[in-house]
Amino acid sequence: MSEKKDIPEDMFLAPENRKHTVTGPDGEVIHVDPLNDYFCQDLPKVEAPYKGVLEKFLNWARAESLWVLAYGTGCGSIELPPLFSPRFDAYRFGVMMRPTPRQSGVLIISGYLAVKTLKRAIRSYEQMQNPKYVIALGSCTINGGMYFDSYNTINRLDHYLPVDVYIAGCMPRPEAILAGFNKLKERIKSGNAEGANHYAENLEWYKANQKKIIKDWNMPTYNW
C-alpha cells in the first residue's frame, strides 16, 4: 500500500489532460483542469424590451428571419419537411431550418413530449440565443390530446417552457403551420413575444415543474 502513495493521481492521464497552470500574455496565472466540465452558472436575466427609436425596425427584423431548430420532437415533424418543400415554401416567409440550437431562434415542439424528450427540449431551448420563441404544434401540447392519460407524456407545455403560439390540430396541416408563423410574426412586431423574459422572471416556477417530472436531473440548473 505504501507504494501507491508515490503514484500521483493523474499518472495515467495524458500530459495535456493533467491539471496544470498557464501564464497568460499579461502575466496572469490560470489554473487549468481539462477534465472538469465547465459551464456558466449564471441564471438568465430579463432583458427589458427596447423602447427607443429603432424598436419597430428591430422587431420587424426579428420577425422576418425566423430560424427554426431542426428538432422533430414528436409526430408533427412529419409535416415539417413538406413545409420547406416547393409546394408550401416557408422560405418566402423568412423561415428556415438550422441544425444547432446556437443558430436558431424558434423552437418548434412538434407534438407530444415524452419525459425523456422534454429534458432534451429544455436543454435545446436554454442553449438558444435571445430573442427566442416557442411554437407548440398539435393538441397534445395544449392539453395532452390523445395522450392525456399516458404516463410518459406531458399534458401542458406551458408549465415547462414559455409558449408563444399554439397551433391546434392533430396533426396541423402545413398551411396551419404557416398561419402560425404569421401569427408569431404579428406578435413579435407588436412587441408581445416576450417568452424568454417570462421564462427568466419565473425561472423558479419553471424549474420546479421541470424537476418534478425529470427524475434524474444530471445537468446544470440552467444550460447556457
Q: Interacting stretch for another protein, rule CB under 8 A, among 13-21, 43-51, 188-196, 198-206?
A: 13-21
Q: Are the CB atoms for 187 and 193 separated by under 8 Å?
A: yes
Q: Which is nearer to another protein, 142 or 203 (CB)?
A: 142
As measured in angstroms, the least distance from the Cβ of 141 to another protein is 11
The span from the CA of 90 to the CA of 174, in Å, is 9
Binding part of the chain for another protein, among 22-30, 49-57, 165-173, 180-188 by CB under 8 A, reads: 165-173
Q: Is 39 exposed, middle or buried (0-12, 13-18, 19+ CB in 10 A)?
A: exposed
Q: Are 133 and 107 in contact (CB under 8 A)?
A: yes
Is 77 a binding residue for another protein by CB under 8 A? The answer is yes
Helix or strand or coil: residue 68? strand
Give residue 84's Cα distance to chain centre: 21
Q: Does 176 bind another protein (CB under 8 A)?
A: no
Closest CA to 147 of 205, 74, 70, 72: 74
Nearest of 61, 65, 72 to residue 91 by alpha carbon: 65
Task: Using the Cα atoms of residue 130, residue 187, residue 104 and residue 65 in order, give the sign of their dihedral.
Answer: negative
| Residue 126 binds another protein (CB under 8 A) | no
Choose which of 3, 6, 26, 149 interacts with another protein (CB under 8 A).
149
**By the rule CB under 8 A, 19 interacts with another protein:** no
- Is position 209 an interface residue for another protein (rule: CB under 8 A)? yes
Q: Which stretch binds another protein (CB under 8 A): 37-45, 63-71, 183-191, 196-204?
A: 63-71
Residue range at the interface with another protein (CB under 8 A); choices 36-44, 56-64, 155-163, 189-197: 155-163
Q: Which residue has the cell 414528436?
A: 74
Question: Which positions lie near another protein, rule CB under 8 A?
Answer: 12-14, 17, 69-75, 77-79, 81-82, 84-87, 97, 99, 101, 112, 114-117, 119-120, 124, 142-144, 146-156, 159, 170-171, 173, 209, 212-216
